[in-house]
Structure 1
Amino acid sequence: MMKSAIVVAVIAQKGGVGKSTLVRSMAVEGILRGRKVAIIDADTEQYTTHKWTLRRSEQVPEVVALEDKTIAEVVASLTKRRAELIIIDTPPHSRPLINVAAEAADAAMIVTQPYQDDVQEVGRTAAILNHLGKRGGIVLNNAPTRAAALALGRAALAAVAFPTCPTAITHLMSHPYASAEGLTAQEREPAGKAAREIAEVWDWFFSKILV
């Protein structure tokens, strides 16, 4: 019997929070840990992750643009091709597609910046996951180095029913520089701060949320 892939939907209802960059970082982290990983680029307005592969020399992770297919169809196809982990890069501002992605997923990673305009959108995503009975965890992304600003974001998220990762992904130039080269931060600077943060977020999500 074919083993089912683990499916993770990465969701941000507000654009500009670095969701697609985090999707790619998590996918590459999985590959570095020996998993066969694929990404479904469901952001049909921009296809940012699909465009990233055009700058990339490595053939992994496989990235499939959703186009005219359904998420269920692509998940089934990738599972047949022995994908072990499928990460769905969802579009912002598209509740119907976010609902479908969340329903197809085993768990969701909710991405937000630690600022009020971003954090206030997390509750809507949490409501979707609660309605579907899905597991989820929140990751603070593009975080400032100022501890006070980060603490305000964490305090605002305390009312949300899902846990927040203890490690925040700091706003570092390692990420855009790597993206421009078709890489992720941990590929470009494997001993850097960004690589350590990505590894810590992975460890938290796959040991505390996907259990």
Structure 2
Amino acid sequence: MQTISLLAQKGGSGKTTLAECLAVAADKAGKPSVILDMDPQGTAKSWKARRGSDDPAVIPVTMANLQDELDRIRAAGAAYAFIDTPARLSDWAMEAAKVSDVVIVPSRATVKDLERVEASIKLATVYGIRPVFVVLTQVRPRGDRDAQAEAFIKARHFPLCPARIGDRVAYQDSDTLGLTPIETEPGGKAAQEIKQVYQYTVKVLNQLTIEPLNHDKKDEPYSRAFQQAG
């Protein structure tokens, strides 16, 4: 089993929605997945309540039982665990990153969000080097703000996912039912961009089996996080 944390030190980044969408994409690809909800607000848990019995499972966790739950779902045969971390509890976010193979940092294309990207990446690598990449979310269909955000991120040598999550009503409409655009509009643009982010995530995870990282090394720049995967 491989573990992916979604970590952002700025609220409203679309972190929970992305965790839900990636977990559903994994299930659709034949990779049983679980969402571990570390956020005290329980947004993913509420989504699951609307969703009903359909996979993926959503399990509320804390720092105290995170490793126990990971061990349990690994033994149950899960392929991926997606950890939805809280935005304002840095200790919890660091603990999630510590047990993760890959960390995804969702960020809107706004100045305030982008200014928090570096802080999020630093949290993700406190306990050692691991692959980290940024995903731009809630990108508007008009204007050049996303291009400016991409330039900002690349200028700082932060790894950036080539796929983006748009600001689309399909996400809100699907969420009302506890679903994702992959299920409600499988041929739509939102479903396509989710699949692209999922495929990129899998590409980074697969690369770990080829070039494993020493997570205890402290002397490498965190920007080494598999930039070549793009």
TM normalised by structure 1 equals 0.93
Q: Which residue of 2 aligns with 1:158?
A: 154
Q: Residues of 2 paired with 1:78 and 1:196: CA distance? A: 28
Residue 53 of structure 2 corresponds to residue 61 of structure 1: no
How far 1:69 moved relative to its partner? 4.4
Q: Which residue of 1 aligns with 2:12?
A: 16
Q: Which residue of 2 aligns with 1:171?
A: 167
> Does structure 1 retain, via aligned residues, the 8 Å contact 2:2–2:79?
yes
Residue 134 of structure 2 corresponds to residue 138 of structure 1: yes
Pair 1:43–1:13, CA change in 2 (3 A)? same
> Does structure 1 retain, via aligned residues, the 8 Å contact 2:51–2:179?
yes
Deviations 1:88-142 (A, max 9, x none): 0001011100100000101101100011110110001112233321111110000
How far 1:162 moved relative to its partner? 3.2
Q: Which residue of 2 aligns with 1:85?
A: 80
Q: Residues of 2 paired with 1:18 and 1:8: CA distance? A: 15
TM normalised by structure 2 equals 0.85
In structure 1, the gaps of 5 or more residues are none
Q: Which residue of 2 aligns with 1:27?
A: 23
Pair 1:8–1:160, CA change in 2 (3 A)? farther
Q: Which residue of 2 aligns with 1:129?
A: 124
> Does structure 1 retain, via aligned residues, the 8 Å contact 2:62–2:92?
no
Aligned residue for 2:51, secondary structure, equals coil
Q: Choose which of 118, 129, 134 in structure 1 pairs with 2:113.
A: 118
Aligned residue for 2:86, secondary structure, equals coil
Aligned residue for 1:14, secondary structure, equals coil
How far 1:68 moved relative to its partner? 7.7
Residue 174 of structure 2 corresponds to residue 199 of structure 1: no
Pair 1:67–1:207, CA change in 2 (3 A)? closer
Q: Which residue of 2 aligns with 1:182?
A: 178
Q: Which residue of 2 aligns with 1:7?
A: 3
2:195 partner letter: A
In structure 2, the gaps of 5 or more residues are 208-230
> Does structure 1 retain, via aligned residues, the 8 Å contact 2:7–2:93?
yes
Pair 1:74–1:112, CA change in 2 (3 A)? same
